Amino acid sequence: MAAIRLRLLLAFLPLLFQTTATSSSDAEHLLAARSALFDPSDALAGWGSGRRSLCRWAHVSCAKNSTTAVTGLDLSRLFLSGGFPEALCSLRSLERLDLSANEFVGPLPACLAALPALTHLNLAGNNFSGEVPAEWGAGFRSLLVLNLVQNLLSGDFPAFLANITTLQEFSLAYNRFAPSPLPESLGDLADLRVLFVANCSLNGIIPSSIGKLKNLVNLDLSTNAIGGEIPPSIGNLSSLEQIELFANQLSGSIPVGFGGLKKLRSLDISMNQLTGEIPEDMFLAPRLSSVHMYQNNLSGRLPATLGTAPSLSDLRIFANQLSGPLPPEFGRNCPLQFLDTSDNRLSGPIPATLCASGNLTQLMLLDNEFEGAIPVELGQCWTLVRVRLSSNKLSGPVPSGFWGLPGVYLLELCGNALSGTINPAIAGAKNLSKLLLQDNRFTGALPAELGTLANLQELRAENNCFSGPLPPCLGNLPLLFNLDLSHNSFSGEIPRDFGKLKKLSQLYLSDNHLSGNVPPELGEIIEMNTLDLSNNELSGQLPAQLQNLRLTHFNISYNKLSGTLPVLFNGLQYKESFLGNPGLCHGFCQSYGKPDSKRHTIIKLVVPIFFAAAIILLIGLAWFTYKFRKYKMNAAELDDGKSNWVLTSYHRVDFSEKDIVNSLDENNVIGQGGAGKVYKVVVGPQDEAMAVKKLWPVEYAYSLRVTEKSDIYSFGVVMLELVTGMKPMALEIGEMDLVMWVSTNIEQSGLESVLDQTLAEQFKDEMCKVLKIALLCVSNLPTRRPPMRAVVKMLLDVKEENKPKLKVEPLAT
Ligand SMILES: *[C@@H]1O[C@H](CO)[C@@H](O)[C@H](O)[C@H]1NC(C)=O
Ligand SMILES: *[C@@H]1O[C@H](CO)[C@@H](O)[C@H](O)[C@H]1NC(C)=O
Ligand SMILES: *[C@@H]1O[C@H](CO)[C@@H](O)[C@H](O)[C@H]1NC(C)=O
Ligand SMILES: *[C@@H]1O[C@H](CO)[C@@H](O)[C@H](O)[C@H]1NC(C)=O
Ligand SMILES: *[C@@H]1O[C@H](CO)[C@@H](O)[C@H](O)[C@H]1NC(C)=O
Ligand SMILES: *[C@@H]1O[C@H](CO)[C@@H](O)[C@H](O)[C@H]1NC(C)=O
Ligand SMILES: *[C@@H]1O[C@H](CO)[C@@H](O)[C@H](O)[C@H]1NC(C)=O
Ligand SMILES: *[C@@H]1O[C@H](CO)[C@@H](O)[C@H](O)[C@H]1NC(C)=O
Ligand SMILES: *[C@@H]1O[C@H](CO)[C@@H](O)[C@H](O)[C@H]1NC(C)=O
């Protein structure tokens, strides 16, 4: 008995020792690992507390026959951070280690490679950085899965990992390796099922050894810079289900053989430089469901196998040079859901069967040469949400059901030869947001049902043959922001209800036969920036309410308007807005319509500017005569012997330069010079000596539009130049423009700090007042700038007594 006991004890002793030793150390190693990392959500707080066995600690698992040896550690998605806890390398039984989706940083540990039992290593989605340790190429004797996806790993692509011949999954995608090629030795990974090396800065070519990976299921080399051709040997990898080669520099043609990949489900070779035809066997694979080949240079006709592919649901072949028709029964045999063939040269009819399976949601056939009618069958395709058939050669009427598809939010039919009317069935298109019908041959009146489409944001029907009155109920569309009905034959009045379109920013009704008054209600659409009513038969006075609008484009030319133009429309920017309205008056009732009147407008605008310039120079003269003494020496050089008192203000006129320059020449107050057009304010009694002040070109940072307000701005800049004695490009100003320099300095050091110090002593009060007026004129917001009349008045108030005699004079250049 004793002997038996002893033998038993001896037999169990090593086992006991071993297990106790392992258990205590694995627990210790885990606790050591925990103390080395940061665990903000206390996910590991329960470890080691109470008497719970190690194998019941959260995220820890042990082998079935053990209560002590840790074989699995899953710490994924626990917000852990810090460096890799090296204590984990002491878990000698560890088979699966998952630290994915945390915030670990620092280098990958070399020690992991020595773990004898490790089969699954997942460190994806962290911030591990640096090179993959070279030791990894010589260890990992049983590793099956290596996942380092989405870290910050650098250095050359770790080709030596191909030494781990046990690998079934090799995932290194989304790291920051230096440009390097895929190693030929990759072909040695005979068991490989997943090769995921997208976005790894790979260049070179796809190694032909890839044809040896007989077990490969998933091949993803996308978003690299891999060139060369697709190796035909890929067609031998009969286990492949997914091929992602998109966004590389692959060239040549698609190899024959993909059709032999019986298990293929999805193929993406988009965004390469592939040429030639799509091979005839391309669509043979019975489970092939998604094929993306867009943005290549593929040409020729589509293979007949496309028409018989049984599982195809997503086909995107846009932006190639494909020609010929779609297969006649396309869609009959497959659950087609997403079809985008845009931007090719496909022709023939749209197959009536596209939606035969009842799955079609997106139909994009734009920019091709499809012809014939839209098939009636598509009018029953209630799954559709996005329809783009523009820029083809489609003709005939649109099937009534097609107008009223309930889920469609984009119906784009523009640029065809479609005819007939908009069917009232459109009332069913409750989701419709954009209806684009322009450039077709549609006829008839717009149905009142359009006014019930509460989601409609854009309605474009220009360049058709629509007629009849504009339905007032269009005013009920709460989201409509673009309404373009121009170039049709609409008649009757513009409905007052349009004033209810609070979101409308663009209204084009030009080139119709609209008559009656312009409804004052249009002035209530404060969002409106474009209003084109030109070439109609509108009459009566232009409503003053339109002055409320901030229009960047306004055209009501060639109508029959009469009466006086509202005062705000007298500005230069509207000079082409009222052409061809012989009854319309401006100021002294000079008729619009005549080209001559342009000149009057300009003169009217320019004269006050120069008048005001003269006024400010009255004030400035005293300073300049003072300043003159200082400048005398320099002036003598510039003077060419003349003894005129002259102030020259160079001022760039970016806007409407032609008109202003012409007109000012005629009035002898403008010249040309420097870089770009400039005009010069020239002032002075001829017999006084000369002071020269050059004011350099001012950029117009704010105003894109030509308005009186931008002229005021320019005038404000001139005043600033005078008061500060500063050129707009002066060294002190540096990168800033004068306006910004002035406002910055005033903000920091007060008003007086910007005054021309040589004059400020004597004329401080006046200068401060002028400065304040100038600041008003250069306000960022055009609406805050005072009108010229007000500026002149303010300047006159500054100093009533005009001592020196001044006049506005030309300067010969
Ligand atoms: C646990 O079982 C596995 C096989 O299932 C065996 O290889 C291993 O030696 C066993 N471990 C112990 C401690 O008995
Ligand atoms: C991980 O790296 C990304 C990208 O460099 C960075 O935005 C992020 O803050 C980093 N996270 C940590 C925890 O370091
Ligand atoms: C990869 O294996 C080869 C041959 O087995 C060996 O010569 C080489 O040193 C290994 N590479 C690394 C980085 O361990
Ligand atoms: C590829 O990685 C770079 C940086 O590593 C990143 O800027 C780029 O957006 C990635 N490309 C894609 C398609 O994810
Ligand atoms: C495909 O495999 C067959 C048989 O193993 C071989 O004869 C053929 O050359 C391979 N094709 C390619 C393109 O590698
Ligand atoms: C694509 O083909 C067109 C005409 O065949 C050619 O002009 C163009 O250079 C090609 N583009 C590429 C990237 O090969
Ligand atoms: C196609 O539609 C049918 C019926 O609605 C549905 O059962 C099937 O799952 C859909 N197929 C696909 C690929 O979406
Ligand atoms: C309505 O349109 C939106 C897009 O604007 C789309 O996501 C949605 O699926 C459509 N609704 C229906 C019922 O089809
Ligand atoms: C307004 O339309 C007329 C005629 O179409 C055109 O001559 C004129 O330039 C347009 N005006 C503006 C401001 O676009």
**Domain coordinates in residue numbering, the chain:** 71-216, 597-802
- Cα–ligand 3 centroid distance for 161 (angstroms): 9
What pLDDT, on the 0 to 100 scale, is given for residue 518?
96
Instruction: Give the CA count within 13 Å in the CB-facing half-sphere of 296.
Output: 30
Identify which ligand lies nearest to the alpha carbon of 261: 5
- Cα–ligand 3 centroid distance for 186 (angstroms): 13
Determine which residue's CA is closest to atom 5 belonging to ligand 8: 409
- Cα–ligand 5 centroid distance for 243 (angstroms): 19
How far apart CA 355 and CA 333 sit, in angstroms, is 10
What pLDDT, on the 0 to 100 scale, is given for residue 439?
98
CATH assignment, 71-216:
3.80.10.10
- Cα–ligand 5 centroid distance for 495 (angstroms): 74
Look-up of token digits 């392992």: 22
Q: Are strands 393-397 and 417-420 parallel, antiparallel or unpaired?
A: parallel
What pLDDT, on the 0 to 100 scale, is given for residue 766?
81
How far apart CA 128 and CA 155 sit, in angstroms, is 13
- Cα–ligand 1 centroid distance for 89 (angstroms): 21
- Tokens for 211? 């044809």
Residues 6+ apart with CB under 8 A from 631: 691, 692
How far apart CA 90 and CA 167 sit, in angstroms, is 22
Give pLDDT tens digits for 614-647: 666 665 654 545 444 444 444 333 333 332 222 2
Determine which residue's CA is closest to atom 14 belonging to ligand 1: 65
Give pLDDT tens digits for 151-175: 999 999 999 999 999 999 999 999 9
- For residue 236, the ligand 5 atom closest to its alpha carbon is 1
Instruction: Give the CA count within 13 Å in the CB-facing half-sphere of 660.
Output: 25
How far apart CA 233 and CA 213 sit, in angstroms, is 10
In short, whether 297's Cβ falls inside 6 Å of ligand 6 is: yes
Lowest-confidence range among 178-182, 265-269, 630-634? 630-634
Give Cα separations from 520 to 132, 497, 498, 561 (angstroms): 73, 11, 10, 14
Determine which residue's CA is closest to atom 12 belonging to ligand 7: 335
Q: Three-state DSSP class for 774?
A: helix
Q: Three-state DSSP class for 330?
A: coil
Determine which residue's CA is closest to atom 10 belonging to ligand 1: 65
Identify which ligand lies nearest to the alpha carbon of 321: 6
Q: Which residues line ligand 7 (CB under 6 A)?
A: 313, 335, 337, 357-359
Q: Three-state DSSP class for 806?
A: coil
- pLDDT: is 258 or 43 the higher one? 43
How far apart CA 118 and CA 407 sit, in angstroms, is 52
How far apart CA 478 and CA 677 sit, in angstroms, is 47
Give Cα separations from 427 to 3, 112, 448, 451, 454 (angstroms): 98, 66, 9, 9, 10
Contact 495, 519 (CB under 8 A): yes
Residues 6+ apart with CB under 8 A from 243: 219, 234, 258, 264, 266, 267, 268, 269
Give Cα separations from 173 to 154, 340, 410 (angstroms): 12, 28, 36
Average pLDDT over the chain, rounded to an integer: 82
Residues 6+ apart with CB under 8 A from 677: 652, 653, 657, 661
Contact 486, 464 (CB under 8 A): no
How far apart CA 437 and CA 245 sit, in angstroms, is 38
Q: Which residues line ligand 5 (CB under 6 A)?
A: 211, 232-233, 235-236
Residue type at 812 in one-letter notation: A
Residue type at 46 in one-letter notation: G
Q: What would be the CATH architecture of the domain defined by 597-802? A: Orthogonal Bundle (1.10)
What pLDDT, on the 0 to 100 scale, is given for residue 380?
95
- Cα–ligand 6 centroid distance for 323 (angstroms): 15
Percent of the chain with pLDDT over 70: 79
pLDDT exceeds cutoff 50 at 375: yes
Residue type at 523 in one-letter notation: G
Angle between helices 708-724 and 757-777 (to 10 degrees): 170
> How many residues would you count in the chain?
813
Q: Write out the H or E segment, with its range, that includes residue 244.
A: strand 242-244
Q: Which of 60-74, 108-122, 610-624, 711-725 has the highest mean pLDDT?
A: 108-122
How far apart CA 557 and CA 293 sit, in angstroms, is 50
Give pLDDT tens digits for 482-494: 999 999 999 999 9
Choosing from 249, 250, 296, 297 the residue with most ligand 6 atoms within 8 A of its CB, the one to mutate for a pocket test is: 297
Contact 114, 91 (CB under 8 A): no
Contact 223, 247 (CB under 8 A): yes
Average pLDDT of the residues in 372-386: 97
